Amino acid sequence: MSRIDTETARRVAKLARIAVPDDDLPALAGELSGILDFMEQLGEVDVTGVAPMTSVTPMRLKRREDVVTEGEMAGRILSNAPDAREGFFAVPKVVE
């Protein structure tokens, strides 16, 4: 049984922002379905009254002062950008 059809695979690829050619969608749908079939075993477990885990070690998230600790390094931050201009990251036109 296939849990993910070609249309669902197309939608998931879109949500993940990964371009997948139409020809590859059926195979992708099959692979994703196989993985989800494997996960179906979780349905056998009785989880009544069980809280979903939010932290694996019982620790309180540490607080810190809300102050600037580092900064003034635009050049270093931009140093790896594929396209940086005039102190900014450059991207294709977003608004028409």
Partner 1 sequence: MSELTDLTIAEARDALARGDVTSAELTEASLGAIEGAGALNVFIRPTPERAMEQARAADARRAAGDAPAMCGIPVGVKDLFCTRGVESQAASFILDGFRPEYESTVTQNLWDAGAVMLGKLNMDEFAMGSSNETSTYGDAVNPWRRTGDNTPLTPGGSSGGSAAAVAARLCAGATGTDTGGSIRQPAAFTGTVGLKPTYGRCSRWGIVAFASSLDQAGPMTRSVRDAAIMLGAMAGHDSKDSTSADIPVPDFEAMLTGDIRGKKIGVPREYRMEGMPAEIETLWHKGAEMLRDAGAEIVDISLPHTKYALPAYYVIAPAEASSNLARYDGVRYGHRATLAQGDGITEMYEKTRAEGFGKEVQRRVMIGTYVLSAGFYDAYYNKARKVRTLIKRDFEQAFAAGVDAILTPATPSPAFALGEMSEADPVQMYLNDVFTVPTNLAGLPGISVPAGLDSGGLPLGLQLIGHPWEEGDLLNTAHALESAAGFVSKPEKWW
Q: Which of 51, 66, 72, 87 binds partner 1 (CB under 8 A)?
A: 51
Helix boundaries (H) for 40-89? 74-78
Rule CB under 8 A: say whether 25 interacts with partner 1: no
2, 29 contact by CB (below 8 A): yes
Length of the chain (residues): 96
Binding site for partner 1 (CB under 8 A): 4, 8-9, 12-13, 15-20, 28, 31-32, 34-36, 38-45, 47, 50-57, 59, 61-62, 64, 73, 76-77, 79-83, 89, 91-94
